[in-house]
Amino acid sequence: MFRAIRPTSTLYRASALYKNAAVSSPARVSMAMNFARMYSAGAGLARSDVEKRVLDILAGFNKVDAKKISLKANFNADLGLDSLDTVEVVMAIEEEFSIEIPDKDADEIKSAEQAVEYISKRDDAH
């Protein structure tokens, strides 16, 4: 089966090196022929790290009683945050993890546990 080689591919560049043997050594050609880039997805963030960072964000808010902070605590009912405070929490989470949370998803985040679940599912969170 015949396969076309793109001019930008490593195989094309290696074959060009091979044709121009006066410039390249066989070892160089061999290295170029065996070269391959390996990309892998990051392992993601450990859930325990995400939990700690989210709880630290909540602890940093003056309006939140540190004794009441837990993963299960509801932002409004348990921590006494109003809707604007909740928006601030979500914005702080976005900044902490270098992500943007769409408004539709942000409206569903009402506890630290929900925030941790959401962030854990995101591949782009840092």
Active site residues: 82
The number of beta carbons lying within 10 Å of the beta carbon of residue 103 is 8
* Exposure on the CB side of residue 64, measured as CA atoms within 13 A: 26
List the structure tokens of 120. 């854990």
Residue with tokens 């066989």: 26
CA quadruple 71, 74, 80, 85: dihedral sign: positive
Residue with tokens 């170029």: 32
